[in-house]
Structure 1
Amino acid sequence: MIWNTNLRWRLPVTCLLLQVALVVLFGVFVRYDLDADPHWIGRQGDENTTSDMENEFYYRYPTCTPPAPGLPCGVQGLLPQPLAKGAVAVAWATGRPLGLINADFCVGSVCVAFGAVLGKVSPVQLLIMTLFQVTLFSVNEFILLSLLEVKDAGGSMTIHTFGAYFGLTVTWILYRPSLHQSKERQSSVYHSDLFAMIGTLFLWMYWPSFNSAVSKHGDAQHRAAINTYCSLAACVLTSVALSSALHKKGKLDMVHIQNATLAGGVAVGTAAEMMLMPYGSLIVGFICGIVSTLGFVYLTPFLESRLRIQDTCGIHNLHGLPGIIGAIVGAVTASCASAKVYGIKGLANFFGFDGFKTSWDSSMQGKFQAAGLFVSLAIALVGGIIVGVILKLPFWGQPADENCFEDSVYWEMPEEPKSTALHPEDSTLKPAEP
């Protein structure tokens, strides 16, 4: 089949339509939070706030900046709240302000899913995929956090598990049997690996702030940062050790160092706020370093050859499997929570047992945590199938198999440098004499 990759009208029209839709949605539904409103001065008196430095900005901005520099195109802040007890109102608009941190989390989930399809789809397909995914992300987050009342501060379930398996399902539907025709362009080069390591370093440094960004001020936020750091540290050591052990000459693989070293931050996300304890965080990082590195070596080739899942960036190993591990760790940690560890008041306050969940106990919370994992997987798989079928339609400007991973299909590329010699006789390279 001959694909038409000319996006001259399709891409601009799609971008402009989405931009107009965002402007309308923001104009109708999005408002400044009270801490960003001129009424803040009046609120200071009502809440006995004596200094402008007590504004939410000075707590949240340092943790808002690192998570994702993407545009706040997530629409979860616009999604419905229950209009009555026990009812889910599938309708827009509640007056709930759009949280930029939560929108960044939504964008993070989209970036995860992109990793499965990069190089094989067109910009228009990515835009369409984003539009559907942010909506599904919002639905999934609403069910987990508002209905099931699960704890998922770092988004092991809502961001990583959902994003990974949504992207993997889409790429499974878009399977290309002749992708080997352009496979050689998918491999990395030295300078690309160096630039990628810069991204890895920034992600590693700021992951504690990512996992603690939406936690309550005080001990929960402090605990989330400590647990994340410990898990990341253990994951680095394990990934480096295993990468060297799996190579015949003991060398390190840049793919493992760029990716598997971050898996600990993914896996500790759900339990980041909980009393996981530093040694527990180290164990989580140790397990994820092993699972992620082995996944890149053995699982990725198996998925492509046997299950027809062409995972371009290995998101299954960095986000999918660690996300599932994180959900399990969160469910177990919640089930083991006790008044002895948290304190009677701390346990009730942390899990919300002093609210409408007065009949709940730690065991019930653990069950709901586990249910959240299955809900995330179900929405990701079903949504991925539907979106994949839509993206498979032949008019989105997708590249041919032999043109995948080729930048020049959609980007204007600089011309190759020409020789400075205007004429053959001007060249300093003389032909060999006979």
Structure 2
Amino acid sequence: MAWNTNLRWRLPLTCLLLQAALVVLFGVFVRYSPDADAHWIEEKGSGNVSSDLDNEFYYRYPSFQDVHVMIFVGFGFLMTFLQRYGYSSVGFNFLLAAFGIQWALLMQGWLHSYHDGYIFVGVENLINADFCVGSVCVAFGALLGKVSPLQLLIMTLFQVTLFSVNEFILLSLLKVKDAGGSMTIHTFGAYFGLTVTWILYRPNLYQSKERQSAVYHSDLFAMIGTLFLWMYWPSFNSAVSNHGDAQHRAAINTYCSLAACVLTAVALSSALHKKGKLDMVHIQNATLAGGVAVGTAAEMMLTPYGSLIVGFICGIVSTLGFVYLTVALWGL
């Protein structure tokens, strides 16, 4: 009984301690950016700014909200495909994302926007924090049903830290272009999740293999997540691009790639099924591959037909991966 009592208090105490530490760190280091500070009215009055519409908020906030929906609704519901993991998928995703964005604001701030002893936070920082948490959500997908919420919080603490360092090396030191985070977000998150899964592997996990399937309603809820992700992915890939043609181009390229990916994934899913049926796993996941793959080059001159080719190839590769590679991995 004592052991159960101790276990019961671990999560509440951890959450409260982490939040208290974050409050202290925010109080010491975090301040509003010039665009969010009350001195904005003085900046406007000095003649350097012609209108409130020049505030960064009006350029970035719509994209921020789209990305925010992807993190909390899109990824949250996408994970509900397991028949007995619906509450945990949405709830744990909510928990780790809420903690992750706070820690990401600090970690990314120390590395990217630390001046005169302070981190200056604006709407673009919020988008980048969501990007960081997106990587955590990707890793969470490899750990469904294998970890407790306490373990997820610890994983998030380490992953956000490593993500921020990796992002700083790639984007700031090596000057790599990665508008949609194909490398920094999705690739890093995928391999981090696989690594944690390998570390936490237990021989008796095969006993719950039958629970790793879906039922009708769980697939339906997961499809809701897919649709939210699919609709908002152009915003995800263009959210932090430079204003003007680069941002416009990133949205168009992602839009085209996603559309082509859907048709290809549906075609392959049906062709590879013995009875010509569609597999919901393919429809839920392979249809998003076009948005992931085009992310790095989203703001480049791919041309619309080039984006369609990217989506076409990704639909093929992703569906084949689900059909053949997943089976091979189960055999390891």
Which range, TM-score by smaller chain? 0.7 to 0.9
Name the aligned partner's letter for residue 22 of structure 1: L
**Distance of 2:260 and 2:5 partners within structure 1:** 45
> Given that residues 260 and 289 in structure 1 are in contact (C-alpha distance below 8 angstroms), is that contact kept between their aligned partners in structure 2?
yes
Aligned mate of 2:158, from 115, 132, 149 = 132
Higher relative contact order (CA 8 A, sep 6+): 1
Partner of 2:92: none
| Distance change (3 Å), C-alpha of 1:94 and 1:274 | farther
Instruction: State the shift of 1:95 in Å.
Output: 2.6
Distance 1:81 1:220, change over 3 A: closer
Of 245, 248, 256, the match for 1:230: 256
- Cα contact 1:223–1:272 (8 A) shared by 2: yes
The structure with the largest alpha-carbon Rg is: 1
Q: Deviations over 1:383-405 (max 9, x none)?
A: xxxxxxxxxxxxxxxxxxxxxxx
**Deviation, structure 1 residue 183:** 1.4
Instruction: Report if aligned partners of 1:79, 1:139 keep a CA contact under 8 Å in 2.
Output: no
CA distance in 2, matches of 1:134, 1:276: 31
- The structural deviation recorded for 1:59 is 1.0
Q: Which amino acid aligns with 2:268?
A: L
- 1:16 positional shift: 1.1
Decide which of 104, 109, 112 is 1:78's aligned counterpart: 109
Residues 41, 188 of structure 1: alpha-carbon distance in 2 compared, 3 angstrom cutoff? same
CA distance in 2, matches of 1:127, 1:35: 32
CA distance, structure 1, for counterparts of residue 148 and residue 194 of structure 2: 17
**Alignment counterpart, residue 182 of structure 2, candidates 137, 143, 156:** 156
- Inter-partner Cα distance in structure 1 for 2:50 and 2:239: 24
Deviations 1:112-144 (A, max 9, x none): 001111101111110100010000011011111
Q: Is the CA contact (8 Å cut-off) linking 1:211 and 1:225 kept in structure 2?
A: yes
Equivalent in the alignment of 1:340: none
**What SS does structure 1 have at the residue aligned with 2:138?**
helix
Quickly say closer, same or farther: Cα 1:231–1:6, change in 2 above 3 A. farther
Query: 2:274 matched to 1:248?
Result: yes
Alignment correspondent of 1:191: 217
State which of 127, 133, 153 in structure 2 corresponds to 1:107. 133
Alignment partner of 2:203: what SS?
Answer: coil
How far did 1:27 drift? 1.3
Q: Which residue of 1 aligns with 2:16?
A: 16
| Counterparts of 2:126 and 2:48, CA distance in 1 | 27
Deviation (angstroms), 1:7: 3.1
Runs of 4+ in 1 over 6 A off after TM superposition: 3-6
- Listed as ranges, the gaps of 5+ residues in structure 1 are 83-90, 307-434
State the shift of 1:46 in Å: 4.2
Letter in 1 for 2:32: Y
State the partner residue of 2:120. Answer: 97
Shift of 1:5: 10
| Residue in structure 1 matched with residue 62 of structure 2 by the alignment | 62
- Which secondary structure does the structure 2 equivalent of 1:274 belong to? coil
**Which of 273, 284, 290 is residue 264 of structure 1 equivalent to?**
290
Q: Deviations over 1:341-393 (max 9, x none)?
A: xxxxxxxxxxxxxxxxxxxxxxxxxxxxxxxxxxxxxxxxxxxxxxxxxxxxx
| CA root-mean-square deviation | 2.0
Counterpart Cα distance in 1 of 2:197 and 2:230: 27
Going from structure 1 to structure 2, the CA distance change for 1:4 and 1:186 (only over 3 Å counts) comes to farther
SS of equivalent to 2:31 = coil
Per-residue deviation, 1:215: 0.6
Report the number of matched residues.
296
Once residues 221 and 92 of structure 1 are traced to their aligned partners in structure 2, the CA distance between those partners, rounded to angstroms, is 27
Structure 2: tracts of 5 or more residues without a match? 73-96
Q: CA deviation at 1:76?
A: 3.1
CA drift of 1:93 comes to 8.2
CA contact (8 A) 1:80 1:94 kept: no
> How far has the Cα of 1:194 moved from its partner?
0.9
Corresponding position of 2:50: 50
Q: Give the SS at the match of 1:23.
A: helix
| More displaced 10-residue stretch of structure 1: 162-171 or 297-306 | 297-306
Once the two structures are superposed, residues 280-306 of structure 1 have per-residue CA deviations (whole angstroms, 9 ceiling, x without a partner) of 111111111111111111111212322
TM-score, L = length of structure 1: 0.65
Residue 4 of structure 1 and its aligned partner are, at CA, apart by: 7.0
Distance 1:34 1:245, change over 3 A: same
The residue identity in structure 2 corresponding to 1:207 is W
Amino acid paired to 1:60: R
Letter in 2 for 1:39: H
Helix, strand or coil at the partner of 1:111:
helix
User: Taking structure 1 as reference, are residues 292 and 104 closer, same or farther at Cα in structure 2, changes over 3 Å only?
Assistant: same
